[in-house]
Amino acid sequence: MKEIVRVAAGQGFWGDDLDAPRRQVEGGQIDYLMLDYLAEVTMSILQKQRERDPSLGYARDFVGAMESILPAVLDREVKVVANAGGVNPRACAEAVRSVGAQRRGSKLRIGVVTGDDLLGRLDDLMAQGHALANMETGEALSSVRDRVLSANAYLGSDPIVEALHGGANVVITGRSTDTALTMAPLRHEFGWGAESWDQLAAGIVAGHIIECGAQCSGGNCLYDWKSIPDLANVGYPLVEARADGTFVVTKHPGTGGRVSVPTVSEQLVYEMGDPRSYITPDVIADFTTIRLAQDGENRVLVSGIKGRPATDKLKVSVAYRAGFKAVGTLVYAWPEALEKAQAADRILRERLDRLGLKFDRVLTEFVGANATHGALAGDRHDAPEVQLRFGVRGSDRAAVERFTREIAPLVLNGPPSVTGFAGGRPKVEEIVAYWPALIDKSVVKPKVEIIS
């Protein structure tokens, strides 16, 4: 058994730095590269892509990333775990295989994890009494069933571990938890049992710390932000883990950013609910047991983590069509920029009323005055400029479309000192909303195949 296993993060979401995976495999020694591509809304975008072309529906950036790191995977035996498969993990694996085939003697063994996709089984599951009630509102899924685009269970680490045991050097999953991508390699290497709750919880915490890429190594860090060096060349994080469940968070030498107790603490509290119960399919981790200590420059030692048995449910993410929205903006300049923007808002509302347009929601923000901090921002009546930001949402696409024609006229027929309209009319966007639910673990059957 290795004494230390190094898992590096190379992607925090689909759209993250394209070059980060290559920098992570070339910048120093690592054993595993973990790539997280799936945010909540990503699955529905991928589902729409697969509807148009059955060979799509996965994060195509991953194929480019694999091309850039292929030498490291083949020659230095760095293994890759990624949830890039989206709603079509097999097609993703095929695309990666053709990249591998370009190199003579390529020994890619690709593990493909499926079984998370519940879309084809939804009606059966609902008929069997699985209400898939919305975790926030309690509403049954039947109320939006005819508008559902995708439905995926969040799988835990089991199938990834199985693929690694089977000899895969690249594991591609669909909807798995972000944290499992880091924890599975540690389970595989250290042989942590399915009831080693403290170690499993440590793997989850390691995953939580690095799953957002550089957000734990100096990116988006408020603590002493001006002193964080060289973010242009920011080092993405990696963990050096031991079998006992302790690990060090660090980054490659010669990179920018910073790994310190404050930068790691900020990431630990990110998107946190009840810290005593961070629920995953594998284990419930207790974040109030985490100990952090600086362990040299750009090294933070993490220890003390406790876990307890997981629940018998899996989280399901359902995406459904939820109407339309559009947001238009105009910029008003000093003097009295805010008053001018407020006057334009009143005029616009009156005109929309007169047109008889009905929306579920109309929201005005004054960017530069109160858009993000509301009344807490205080009096900004002397701002150099204020952006009027006006949004509508509703189920009637025609009404939202009509609204988009009402912004530009204000340039000539509204309050003065107005500019910033060069982008043209706002675009109408179809809303794909997210419906979180729970389902019994026993009805979800993960599947692993290995192709080479």
Q: Say which residues have a Cβ less than 8 Å from residue 186's Cβ, sequence separation at least 6.
A: 5, 7, 192, 199, 202, 203, 206, 241
Does position 400 interact with another protein (CB under 8 A)? The reply is no
Site string for another protein, 186-205 (x = CB under 8 A): --------------------
Pick the closer one to another protein by CB: 64 or 436: 436
Q: What DSSP character marks residue 146?
A: G
The piece of 67-75, 150-158, 198-206, 358-366 that touches another protein (CB under 8 A) is 358-366
Task: For 269-297, give the DSSP string.
Answer: TTT-S-TT-EE-SSEEEEGGG-EEEE-ST
How many other CB atoms are found less than 10 A from the CB of residue 38? 27
Task: For 115-139, give the DSSP string.
Answer: --B-GGGHHHHHHTT-----TTT--
Among 18, 272, 293, 411, binds another protein (CB under 8 A): 272
As given in the structure block, the two tokens for residue 389 are 């930001």
Pick the closer one to another protein by CB: 135 or 355: 135
Q: Are 174 and 86 contacting, i.e. CB atoms less than 8 angstroms apart?
A: yes
Interface with another protein in residues 6-35 (CB under 8 A):
none
Does position 223 interact with another protein (CB under 8 A)? The reply is yes
CA 22 from chain centre, in angstroms, equals: 20
Pick the closer one to another protein by CB: 31 or 345: 345
The piece of 69-77, 152-160, 246-254, 264-272 that touches another protein (CB under 8 A) is 264-272
Does position 315 interact with another protein (CB under 8 A)? The reply is no
Q: Say which residues have a Cβ less than 8 Å from residue 301's Cβ, sequence separation at least 6.
A: 246, 247, 248, 292, 293, 294, 295
Does position 371 interact with another protein (CB under 8 A)? The reply is yes
Among 4, 126, 194, 433, binds another protein (CB under 8 A): 433
Q: Are 133 and 437 contacting, i.e. CB atoms less than 8 angstroms apart?
A: yes
Does position 421 interact with another protein (CB under 8 A)? The reply is no
The residue among 244, 165, 162 whose CA lies nearest residue 201 is 244
User: How near is the Cβ of 94 to another protein at its closest, in Å?
Assistant: 30
Could you give the 3-state DSSP secondary structure of residue 104?
coil
Cα(179)–Cα(282) distance, rounded to whole angstroms? 10
Gap between the terminal Cα atoms of the chain: 26
User: How near is the Cβ of 348 to another protein at its closest, in Å?
Assistant: 14
Among 1, 222, 412, 422, binds another protein (CB under 8 A): 222
Pick the closer one to another protein by CB: 9 or 66: 9
Q: Which residue has the tokens 């230390």?
A: 4
Pick the closer one to another protein by CB: 327 or 450: 327
Among 61, 67, 266, 295, binds another protein (CB under 8 A): 266
Residues binding another protein: number (CB under 8 A): 49
Interface with another protein by CB under 8 A: which residues?
40-41, 135-136, 220, 222-223, 262, 265-276, 287-292, 304, 322, 325, 327, 361, 363, 365, 367, 371-376, 389, 391-393, 431-434, 436
